[in-house]
């Protein structure tokens, strides 16, 4: 049985999941922020969660491919 379509689908799902992660971080920064650097520093936990989740998705993705 050929599983290429399933591997391609899984790759797409993981790519979309990794892309959607940044939307949470982006939603916390609005255009009318007078001190963008301060705001980015204030939401550092979101960046940390993004990095950890991105690496977790990457680990799962690599293990599925093997």
pLDDT by 10s per residue, the chain, length 66: 577 877 788 788 888 887 887 777 777 777 777 887 888 888 888 888 888 988 888 888 788 766
Q: Whole-prediction pTM value? A: 0.63
pLDDT of residue 66: 65
Task: Give me the pLDDT at residue 65, please.
Answer: 65
Domain extent listing, the chain: 4-65
Predicted pLDDT of residue 40 = 81
Q: Which of 8, 6, 3, 17 has its CA nearest to residue 58?
A: 17
- Contacts of range 17-26, beta carbons closer than 8 Å, 24 or more positions apart: 17/57, 18/54, 18/57, 18/58, 21/50, 21/53, 21/54, 21/57, 22/50, 24/49, 24/50, 25/50
């Amino acid at each position: 049985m050929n599983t290429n379509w399933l591997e391609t689908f899984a790759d797409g799902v993981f790519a979309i999941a990794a892309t959607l992660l940044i939307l949470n971080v982006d939603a916390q920064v609005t255009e009318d922020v007078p001190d963008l650097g301060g705001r980015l520093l204030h939401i550092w936990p979101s960046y940390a969660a993004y990095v950890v989740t991105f690496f977790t998705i990457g680990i799962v993705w690599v293990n599925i491919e093997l």
